[in-house]
């Protein structure tokens, strides 16, 4: 399992370790690892051009010491001093090694042109402007330097965290460096895994500097393939379809039949022992035609789901509509005593009547930012920029498990570390893939997983299936449809379990 920490947690661990070591040991360790990372992205070190963007903090010191190591190997190193103060030891070391310095002067057009020229000629630009303590928007001249890195043809290497990215949350309040490589020390910072900050990280390279014994329990984690494989429901010798889990699906309507087909497909392909599907006549006919394995029943809002048959979990919402009839069906499902996953139209219904979520059995909601915004009364743009905050807030306020979909998928449950999903592909941004995800998670709920594990494992498997459907980026990718994702689920499961 990949663990990630807030900046406060990292700082506390650093203080504990530094009390046991000679002064400057940690910075030397970090600088050495940073220099090695720069060497690895250079075709050759001797004669290469390296520009250090140096702020006032310790990561500016890391950059200076690393620059000194590179200068001793023949690199032409320039340090752009942008802070009100500069790490004295690191600066002296760089100058002894032959490195040069230039001041970043806020508001001086001539100086800006000189700096821009340095950055644009560099083979490597090392971003040591703002470290893990930075919050809020970058001020000048840091913001101008961050903009310059966007035009840099060389490799941009961030020290610990790209400047402008909140290390604890991934929030980006203004300009931010978009790194090709982020070398992070001691422990992965939570904000490096969560968008919008995660999109600025590039390749993440964690470096062990000895903090491990001093780190507390993480606040953010990411499951690995082995973690997911160990949690997936698997049939045993004595299994039958009922023991493997029966999932009920209420989805689709006469207007939206595709959502029903895709949700049932996700559940069937993810290994549900039996799928009971209940809806209006037209989606029932479509599901019968595409997934004959499913047991179907035409129901009316008045009768609800009482006669559908016993299930271990329900999936409610995709394509079911949002009117009074949908409300009646939602009330019927949420009155049950088994776990319920609420998605899509179901979320719109409960956003108008949040009393439906007051239930004793576990509830998992799977919103995108717009749907969570309706539930919380918050603008979707605010949720997009503060994903971690609002996922945790929704879990507390609504008393449910939250799977917040998007470029970074988060799973939040009160009292548990937030889980970040690390699989997926931009090709999944197409209609119907969320319905498939709901079906996968529903199958896992029926198979006995908790909402927390079902959501996390479903997100991982869904992302992996999306990658398989789209193809290998090195060999060429292609657009995918939602049904492609559902059909690749068994291959994704095989890929996971073969490595476990």
Helical packing angle, 7-18 and 25-41, nearest 10°: 120
Residue whose pair of structure tokens reads 């203004």 in the numeric block: 174
Q: What is the mean pLDDT of residues 381-399?
A: 96
Please choose, from the candidates 152, 149, 163, the residue with its C-alpha nearest in 3D space to the C-alpha of residue 123.
152
Amino acid 206: pLDDT: 96
Q: What mean pLDDT comes out for the span 273-277?
A: 97
Is residue 232 predicted with pLDDT exceeding 70? yes
Q: What is the mean pLDDT of residues 116-120?
A: 91
pLDDT over 90 percentage in the chain = 89
Binding residues for (6S)-NADPHX: 58-62, 131-137, 142, 160, 259, 319, 368, 435
Instruction: Tell me the binding residues for AMP.
Output: 405-409, 434
- Could you confirm whether domain 225-499 is CATH 3.40.1190.20? yes
Please tell me the pTM assigned to this model.
0.93
Output the known binding site: 58-62, 127, 131-137, 142, 160, 163, 259, 319, 368, 405-409, 434-435
- The answer to whether residue 211 scores a pLDDT higher than 70 is yes
- Residue 196: asked if its preceding bond is cis (omega within 30°), the reply is yes
Over the stretch 199-210, which tens digit does the pLDDT of each residue have? 999 999 999 999
Contacts of 460 (CB under 8 A, 6+ apart): 223, 225, 228, 421, 422, 423
Domain-wise residue ranges, the chain: 2-218, 225-499
Name the one residue in this structure whose structure tokens are 């390279």: 205
- Mean pLDDT, to the nearest integer, of 225-252? 91
Q: In 3D, which of 90, 167, 86, 181 has the Cα closest to residue 127?
A: 181
Distances (CA, A) of 265 to 283, 363, 424, 443, 488: 13, 21, 19, 10, 11
Q: What's the pLDDT score for residue 500?
A: 62
Answer whether residue 212 shows pLDDT above 90: yes
pLDDT value for 111 = 62
Cβ(219)–Cβ(9) below 8 Å: yes
Mean pLDDT in the chain? 95
Q: Assign 386 a pLDDT band (cuts: 50, 70, 90).
A: very high
Q: pLDDT tens digits, residue range 446-495?
A: 999 999 999 999 999 999 999 999 997 777 789 999 999 999 999 999 99
Q: What is the pLDDT of residue 237?
A: 79
Q: Rounded mean pLDDT of 423-438?
A: 96
Position 481 scores a pLDDT of 97
Fold of 2-218: Rossmann fold (3.40.50)
Torsion of CA 233, 307, 439, 453, to 10 degrees: -40
- 362 SS3 class: coil
- What's the mean pLDDT in 166-190? 96
Residue 420 three-state SS: strand
- The Cα–Cα gap between 101 and 339 comes to 62
């Amino acid at each position: 399992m990949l663990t990630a920490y807030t900046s406060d947690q990292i700082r506390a661990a650093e203080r504990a370790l530094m009390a046991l070591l000679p002064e400057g040991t940690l910075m030397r360790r970090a600088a050495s690892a940073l220099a090695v990372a720069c060497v690895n992205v250079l075709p050759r070190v001797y004669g290469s051009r390296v520009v250090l963007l140096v702020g006032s903090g310790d990561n500016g010191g890391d950059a200076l010491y690393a620059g000194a190591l590179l200068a001793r190997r023949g690199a032409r190193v320039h340090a752009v001093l942008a802070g009100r103060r500069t790490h004295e030891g690191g600066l002296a070391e760089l100058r002894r090694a032959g490195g040069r310095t230039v001041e970043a002067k806020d508001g001086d057009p001539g100086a800006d042109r000189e700096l821009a020229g340095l950055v644009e000629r560099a083979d490597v630009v090392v971003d040591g402007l703002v470290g893990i303590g930075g919050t809020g928007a970058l001020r000048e001249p840091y913001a101008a330097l961050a903009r310059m890195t966007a035009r840099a043809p060389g490799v941009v290497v961030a020290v610990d965290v790209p400047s402008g990215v909140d290390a604890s949350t991934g929030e980006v309040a203004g300009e931010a460096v978009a790194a090709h490589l982020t070398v992070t020390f001691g422990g992965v910072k939570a904000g490096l895994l969560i968008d919008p900050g995660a999109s600025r990280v590039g390749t993440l390279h964690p470096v062990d500097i000895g903090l491990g014994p001093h780190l507390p329990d993480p606040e953010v984690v990411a499951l690995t393939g082995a973690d997911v494989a160990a949690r997936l429901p698997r049939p045993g010798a004595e299994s039958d379809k009922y023991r493997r889990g029966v999932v009920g699906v209420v989805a689709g309507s006469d207007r939206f039949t595709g959502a029903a087909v895709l949700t049932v497909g996700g559940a069937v392909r993810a290994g549900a022992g039996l799928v009971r599907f209940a809806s209006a006549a037209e989606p029932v006919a479509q599901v019968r035609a595409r997934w004959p394995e499913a047991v179907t029943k035409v129901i009316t809002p008045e009768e609800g789901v009482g006669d559908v048959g016993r299930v271990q979990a329900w999936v409610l919402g995709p394509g079911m509509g949002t009117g009074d009839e949908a409300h009646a069906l939602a009330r019927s499902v949420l009155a049950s005593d088994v776990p319920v996953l609420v998605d899509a139209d179901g979320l719109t219904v409960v956003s108008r009547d949040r009393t439906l979520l007051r239930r004793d059995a576990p509830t998992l909601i799977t919103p995108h930012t717009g749907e969570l915004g309706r539930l919380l009364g918050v603008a979707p743009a605010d949720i997009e920029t503060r994903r971690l905050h609002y996922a945790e807030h929704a879990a507390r306020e609504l008393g449910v498990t939250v799977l917040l979909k998007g470029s970074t998928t988060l799973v939040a449950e009160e009292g548990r570390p937030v889980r970040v999903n690390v699989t997926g592909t931009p090709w999944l941004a197409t209609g119907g893939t969320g319905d498939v995800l709901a079906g996968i998670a529903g199958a896992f709920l029926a198979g006995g997983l908790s909402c927390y594990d079902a959501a996390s494992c479903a997100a991982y498997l869904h992302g992996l299936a999306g990658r398989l459907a789209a193809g290998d980026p090195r060999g060429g990718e292609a657009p995918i449809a939602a049904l492609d994702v559902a059909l690749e689920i068994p291959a994704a499961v095989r890929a996971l379990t073969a490595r476990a």
